[in-house]
Chains A and B, each alone.
Chain A
Amino acid sequence: MSIGINQLHNMKFYKQLLGNKMMLLMKASLLLIYCFNLLLIFRPSINVKFGAFVLENAFFVGLMILSYPLYLGLFYIVVKKYLLNSKNLIFIIVFAGLNIGLFIFSWILQILERLYYPNYIYSSIHIYIPYLAVFSYLEIMIIAFSTYVFVQKKLKKDTGFITSFSKFLLDPYKIVSLLLLVVICKVVVVDLPGVIVNELRQQSNAINMNIEFKFRTTDMPLLAEKGVFIRQNTPNDSTIVIPNQSGDYPDIGNQVLIRYFLFPRTLVSYSKLNDYINDTPSNYCRMYTLVSRSYVDKNKYFPDFSRIKIKRILFLESGGKIGEYQNLRQADILNFLNNDNVLIGLIENQECSQF
């Protein structure tokens, strides 16, 4: 079916188009999306930091709060004036009630999260809050739905503000303009400030970091500090033993990541150390070992100090201070690592085959 632009102003056309079946379809799809979002929120398998989400979307969430009275008012008008059909009335009341309930629920959860620690809700009751924001899209749908009800009821009496409003919404040119406006608002008002702030932070990092230009990783300044520290304190032809890649050592255990700073040094994962020793003649050996505390388990360390002979050991503290020590006992080393200021340590090994 295709029609000319002028027919789009013809209300009869829409009456035919949006019959009772359409109404049913709309209800069904609304319910479907609703259930889908509920499932999404209560699905206990996703892990994203929550605090960052709220900060990034503060404006968006604020808009949601402001728009609620508006759309409740709209509902009131629709329900009171034009909804004579009791089935529709019940549907909309139940739907609105559910939505408001969920909204309040989400805010209680968010306040709880603020009171305890980030990710508290997820870790204790496994509810994923960020997707509660999905309901702001639902609001838009509800408004569309109510407008649809206006039109159906108002087609008979053709006067006043509501008619002109519905006419506005039925004009494709205006729908398109409205969409354009929404997307521009989303891009310019909601997203852009966050992007600019982040970019400025990166730029100021790029200027202020006290590190060789080549290695200024502005989005991971700490990693750059560690990498350059290791680079400056090891010769180019040395071999560096690093922990195995895991959640314990996400950055320095990742060979491909830290090779960016350490190339052309040879990197050996701890589990591959025996292979390396077997492959390499023992008279040539400049071995270093990284020293670090696990990110996850504060009582876990790399490497196993009882099995290593240390020639000297270096520690990098935040602020760029480097301490060099010899003849440290294991307890002293652990003391250093338990200090939160210490970022990373580097051991110069005494011999090659000492593991």
Chain B
Amino acid sequence: MFTILIIFLEFFTLSTLLIKRHNLLINLATSSLIFLGMLGFLSFILREYLGISYGSFPNYFAIFLFIVVLLTLLLMRKGETNFNFKNYFQFEKIERFEMIFLLAILILIIVGFFIPVRGWDAYSLYDSRARFFESGMKQSDLASLSKYDQTNNLYYFSYPPMTSAIHAVLYASGFSSPTFIYPMFYFSVLTMAYVLVKSLRLPKILIFLTIIPLALNKLLITQIYASYTNLPMLAFQIGCFFYAIMYFRENRSVYMLLSALSLGFSNWTRNLEPTYVAFLFFSIFLILKTKSKKVHKIIVTVLFLLLSVAPRIIWNNYISSIAINIGEIFPSIPILLSRLLDSTYLSNLIDVTFFVYEALFPVLIYVVIYFVVSLIYIFVKTKNRENETIALSTMLLIIFLFVIMVAGTLYFSVTFAWWDQIPGSFLRSNLPLIPLTMILFAFILEKLVNGKKINTFGKKEKVLGRKN
């Protein structure tokens, strides 16, 4: 238990040193996201390929990280003339609202220690696997459990083991419940959205109001104590989104590394949805838009691709290495295209449209917001080119996500008989829509607010510019 805390503190130190922004919120969000991702990824790899158990993994990892921190310190000391360790840990003053937010999250995390695991999928898959791992089994041994199962033969291989491995490490370190990691994911989603919104020139009250529909959204808060993988997936995807924007703004490679890692971890959490492609394109688009040399851009893009897709490749290879054919969920591109063409007959299209409409019904209001806001966007001019690019690419990202999900549904509709039985999981896969829409919303608000000068109470003070 103590080792886990040390690992977290090491991550915190590392992120504070590398990010170089004296903002406690960013550092906490980064360290919790990367900390959880690393736990879930490395512990599994070390267990399967090197045989290091989930119980002893934290010890090795803590020592390794300690060395990394020392090395970073040494390198920075050489690189900077006036290096002062203390300077890095002097954070900007925290506002009262942020203080309350941190306190609320802290309470959520502490309550998480005393809440048992929850959720059908957690019992049947994620937490089950964690308990098998903790008892000493490897992922490849799990096929033997289902030997006398009538239906779910390869069920334990249906998703990559991100949350299972985290749970296993935590169980092996003496935690009685791993539920507290989900408030941490929730925290990082909210913080990243908040930092992005805060970086815009908006009155405080508007920042607060744009964050509320995200923070209190039913779909998100019901996941805080449920051990599903959707919230972690969302956190990693938003991480990728956030750091890509930070890279675009500040052009520092730490952010690109973090963005690629986050996307990689999201691939290590769930691999059935093709949504990662949208985030991949988004990040690469922003990389190509930054002001740097062409060679540099190409190198960064290639590295980004490698890092972010690697976990996916590792998992697919792992599955095929233990000679399991999981079915046609990962098709080749020609098959995919032909299936998509096959699926475009009228009655199927109608069925799919119904399905999408039904499934997205609870987030319809966000879809409406998206369309209205995008329409307004086209008619309003702004001088800030940087924000313009970000908002535009976010708009494209949302459309692309949607198109991908619909295409995926079309593919499923001609491949699996049960495709229309899962509107709930289709909805949960579309969770990124909520934070992305609200962030986009804030960008448009900024455009409007700064076009018209307003004071903190939202009243019109003075209209700038030419009058008609």
Chain A interfacial positions (CB closer than 8 Å to B): 1-10, 36, 39-40, 43, 46, 131, 134, 137, 172-173, 175-177, 179-180, 182-184, 186-188, 191-192, 194-195, 198-199, 202-203, 206, 213-220, 244-245, 254-257, 259-260, 263-264, 266-273, 275-276
Contacts and interface: CB of A to CB of B under 8 A. Distances in A.
Contact of B372 (A8, A179, A206): A179
A182 B463 CA distance: 27
Contacts of B316: none
B91 interface: no
Nearest to B151: A245
Contacts of B218: 187, 191-192, 194-195
B403 interface: no
A260 B123 contact: yes
Nearest to B438: A183
Contacts of B114: 206
A6 B128 contact: no
A195 B225 CA distance: 12
Contacts of B373: 176, 179
13 contacts: A176-B448, A177-B458, A184-B213, A187-B216, A199-B225, A254-B152, A255-B149, A256-B124, A256-B152, A256-B156, A259-B145, A260-B128, A275-B148
Question: Which of A182, A206, A266 gathers most chain B CB within 10 Å?
Answer: A206
Contact of B118 (A5, A173, A217, A267): A217
Given A183-B365, A195-B218, A5 B451 contact: yes
A263 B128 contact: yes
B453 to A, nearest CB: 11
Interface stretch (B48-56, B378-386, B410-418): B378-386
Interface of B: 114-120, 123-125, 127-128, 131-132, 135, 145-152, 155-156, 176-177, 209-210, 212-213, 216-218, 221-222, 225, 354, 357-358, 361, 364-366, 368-369, 372-373, 376, 378-381, 441, 444-445, 448-449, 451-452, 458, 463, 465-468
Contact of B116 (A188, A198, A216, A254): A216
Given A2-B380, A184-B212, 19 more contacts: A3-B381, A4-B381, A4-B466, A5-B451, A40-B358, A172-B448, A173-B452, A184-B209, A187-B218, A188-B212, A206-B116, A214-B116, A214-B176, A217-B116, A219-B119, A244-B150, A245-B152, A263-B128, A272-B149
A175 B376 contact: yes
B116 A180 contact: no
Shortest 5 CB-CB distances between A and B: which pairs?
A5-B451, A269-B150, A191-B218, A268-B148, A216-B116
A199 B176 CA distance: 20
A140 to B, nearest CB: 9
A10 B465 CA distance: 14
Nearest to A275: B148
A257 B376 contact: no
B456 to A, nearest CB: 14
Given A6-B465, A184-B209, A255-B146, A260 B127 contact: yes
Contacts of A3: 379-381
Contacts of B210: 180
A245 B151 CA distance: 7
A202 to B, nearest CB: 7
A92 to B, nearest CB: 22
Contact of A5 (B217, B357, B452): B452
A284 B209 CA distance: 66
Question: Which of A1, A173, A179 gathers most chain B CB within 10 Å?
Answer: A173
A40 B145 contact: no
A39 to B, nearest CB: 8
A267 B380 contact: no
A351 B448 CA distance: 79
Contacts of B145: 259, 263, 267
B468 A272 contact: no
A219 B212 contact: no
A186 B366 CA distance: 11
Contacts of B120: 219-220, 257
B169 to A, nearest CB: 17
Given A6-B466, A184-B212, A186-B365, A269 B379 contact: no
B354 A180 contact: no
Contacts of A186: 213, 365
Contacts of B127: 260
Contacts of A263: 128, 131-132, 135, 145
A79 to B, nearest CB: 26
A267 B149 contact: yes
A173 B119 contact: no
Question: Which of A43, A183, A259, A267 gathers most chain B CB within 10 Å?
Answer: A183
A103 to B, nearest CB: 18
A225 to B, nearest CB: 14
A195 B149 contact: no
A259 B124 CA distance: 8
A259 B128 contact: yes
Contacts of A220: 120, 123
Nearest to A259: B128
Nearest to B155: A256
Contacts of B380: 2-5, 8, 172
A8 B364 CA distance: 27
Nearest to B146: A255
A213 B124 contact: no
Given A173-B448, A244-B150, A259-B128, A192 B216 contact: yes
Contacts of B378: 1-2
A39 B155 CA distance: 36
A176 B376 contact: yes
Question: Which of A8, A188, A272 gathers most chain B CB within 10 Å?
Answer: A8
Contacts of B364: 137
Contacts of B216: 187-188, 191-192
Contacts of B156: 256
Contact of B123 (A217, A245, A271, A276): A217
B155 A176 contact: no
A42 B177 CA distance: 46
Nearest to A207: B114
A68 B145 CA distance: 58
Contacts of A244: 150-151
A197 B225 CA distance: 14
